Structure 1
Amino acid sequence: MVARQESHPATGAAGPAEFRAAAEQMRAAALRPEVFCEEMPAPQRIAPWSTALSADVTVDEVDLGTGRIILLHDPAGNDAWDGTFRCVAYARAEIDPELVSDPMLAAVGWTWLTEALDAHSAEYAAASGTVTSVATESFGGMADEDGTAQLEVRASWTPATDEHGVPDMKAHVEAWAELLCTAVGLPPVPEGVTAIPSRRGQRGS
């Protein structure tokens, strides 16, 4: 995938070395073939530097989930982040409507994120977020349509950085992608098996 970095419009540069290295790691993430990932425009007013990826999880040509992950960078640091980088992630998945009534669903959804981060050794701090489940039923002229339900996870966390001030964004992107796959109900990749990288920026090929 050919990714385009989003830079602050006032500078026109590609950003500090730490940010460029982190953005390059995001592109290097190995994702499952069910995950179609491409670059998307990143917000420019939250932090001086930002870059973002979006993804869809597709099985048998059916989109089951979607999400995005944004990397923010402020070289001056941000007290709210407790660091100079911040990951902001979103994941939405179609789920069984019967699951919406489960009082543990939100807690389980959050656990999917933290367990994915831990499984990929994506060290982090100051995590926060929400988990929302929504059910939709049809009535009247649409009464014959089946009910649907979605689970949404919105989260942010501060990735740990190495001695050069660079976070291991490859691990964080792979953890976010695992969250997407878990949310849509895909079975985990067996231990010892390496996932075939997904197509990137080439939908339809």
Structure 2
Amino acid sequence: MRRLPEEFREALAGLRRARHRQEITLDEIPAPGRLAPFAVALAADVRDPAQPDASELATGRFILLHDPAGSPVWQGTFRVVTYIRASLEADVGNDPMVGAVAWTWLVEALENQSARYSEAGGTATRVLSESFGGLGSRPDTIDIELRASWTPAGPDTTEHLEAWADMVSAFAGLPPVPDGVTPLPRIRRN
């Protein structure tokens, strides 16, 4: 087994220090092997704690790549690559500004966590699913997907993972929670 570079070990320690809301479940998953010499990947599911058996409110992936030699595309030695997906209500999903709002959530989350970064880019996609034939009774759904990446300013990744957890929470429709405040469980009315 090859030895991990000190900078990557520091980045992994930063990920372990990161805090996130109780509604988010984070699990390490296999990282892509061809994008960089070193990588770690996390999967997140956001569920309503009052309804743990209900489907997730949002889901996502956070991948941290590290190439000690650096990358001219990244303009650094680290790169964060993310994916977030959530279902939307029809009135929100049909709004032509929803993609711009998704991108704003990313930028604001990074700024709110003081995560220093550069070279950010990404796409926001609305996915309309219509069912036909034997599945015709299923309601139409609209999902928003954000695929984005950015270059952290250094190996401290704590703020980057915390910002990403904030983004996943925003996609799930959870209101922001200031430090020291414990949110009340969501109440769903039928």
Fold shared per TM-score above 0.5: yes
Kindly tell me: are residues 73 and 106 of structure 1, through their superposed partners in 2, closer, same or farther at Cα, counting changes over 3 Å?
Answer: same
Greater Cα shift, 135-144 or 47-56: 135-144
Aligned amino acid, residue 170 of structure 1:
T
User: Is 1:187 the equivalent of 2:175?
Assistant: yes
Work out the CA distance in 2 between the residues paired with 1:40 and 1:139: 34
Work out the CA distance in 2 between the residues paired with 1:107 and 1:94: 16
Write out aligned runs for 1:139-178 (5 A): 139-161=132-154, 166=155, 168-178=156-166
Aligned amino acid, residue 79 of structure 1:
P
The 8 Å contact of residues 33 and 195 in structure 1, kept in 2 or not, is answered as: no
Kindly tell me: are residues 69 and 14 of structure 1, through their superposed partners in 2, closer, same or farther at Cα, counting changes over 3 Å?
Answer: farther
Aligned amino acid, residue 107 of structure 1:
A
Work out the CA distance in 2 between the residues paired with 1:83 and 1:107: 26
The 8 Å contact of residues 131 and 153 in structure 1, kept in 2 or not, is answered as: yes
Aligned amino acid, residue 48 of structure 1:
P
Aligned length: 179
Work out the CA distance in 2 between the residues paired with 1:38 and 1:116: 21
Provide TM-score, normalisation by structure 1.
Answer: 0.83
Match of 1:3 in 2: none
Give, in angstroms, the shift of residue 97 of structure 1.
2.4
Out of 56, 71, 74, the residue aligned to residue 45 of structure 2 is: 56
Give, in angstroms, the shift of residue 104 of structure 1.
0.7
Give, in angstroms, the shift of residue 20 of structure 1.
0.6
Q: RMSD across aligned C-alpha pairs, in angstroms?
A: 1.5
Q: Deviations over 1:26-60 (max 9, x none)?
A: 12211101000011111111111111111100111
Aligned amino acid, residue 34 of structure 1:
E
Write out aligned runs for 1:89-128 (5 A): 89-128=82-121
User: Is 1:81 the equivalent of 2:68?
Assistant: no
Aligned amino acid, residue 159 of structure 2:
A
Greater Cα shift, 80-89 or 59-68: 59-68
- SS of the equivalent of 1:185 reads coil
Aligned amino acid, residue 29 of structure 2:
M
